Amino acid sequence: MNKKLESIAYHEAGHAAANLYFRIKFKNVSIIPENISAGRVNPVKASQRLKNNIELGSLSPRDERYLKNECITTMAGPVAQAKFEKRKKVLNRGSKSDEYHFFEYTENLKIPQNGSLHYMNYIIEEAKDLFIDKNELFPNLWKFVIFLSKELIRDKELSYLQCKRHYQQIIGDNYYDSFNSLNYNINKPSQEWLNQKKLQNINEAIKLSSVKE
């Protein structure tokens, strides 16, 4: 099998899996080359309400959570590709477009420019958490990424509804139907796991605040 094509398929499957996890709709996912892009997840336009709030600089907690989730889905592609290639370094030349979109989101979130790289490292770790093989909080998304990458290699392009159907078959209808993307309350995580995540978030907040100063 063409390893380069397989890597691209894993990259785009990573994006799609994270979008489905956070219930962010998209038009389709494709590995058909177009201009300088080897593959892409074609997004659905953001709501007018969100656009207005961004322009006014008055993001609600819901808006902030949505934009953070978009940051994670953006980094989920490079993370999935690096995991497939058994690479420690997540970002490479093929992830420049993802980095561009990531910084667009951080600008909307009002992350200071000199703190955006710290925030990117934090988000990359969040994206890695999605693809841990066994986790009390997340479903087995990596299993879904493997499946979806094979479907992409075969069909080259999949619609949102096709991806969602595969997701429900592999992850489960009950999980998908009961998921609330604004708070992770599905499979109650262990207290140890929550404490670790809380400590990570506190450390990240300290880093960002020191950068702002």
Kindly report whether the global pTM for this prediction surpasses the value 0.95.
Answer: no
Terminal C-alpha separation, the chain: 51
156-173: pLDDT as tens digits:
999 999 999 999 888 875
- State the CATH architecture for 3-212: Up-down Bundle (1.20)
Sign (positive or negative) of CA dihedral 83, 103, 50, 183: positive
> Mind giving me the DSSP string for 108-158?
HTT--GGGHHHHHHHHHHHHHHHT-SS-SSS--HHHHHHHHHHHHHHHSEE
Which H or E run includes 172? Answer: none
47-94: pLDDT as tens digits:
899 999 999 889 999 999 999 999 999 999 999 999 999 999 999 988
CA angle at 50 for the pair 49 and 55, rounded to the nearest 5°: 100
How is residue 40 annotated by DSSP?
Answer: E
- Rounded distance, CA 29 to CA 160, Å? 7
How is residue 46 annotated by DSSP?
Answer: P
Q: Where are the domains of the chain?
A: 3-212
Q: What tokens were used for 191?
A: 């207290």
Sign (positive or negative) of CA dihedral 42, 40, 65, 114: negative
Q: Which of 9-18, 144-153, 180-189 has the lowest mean pLDDT?
A: 180-189
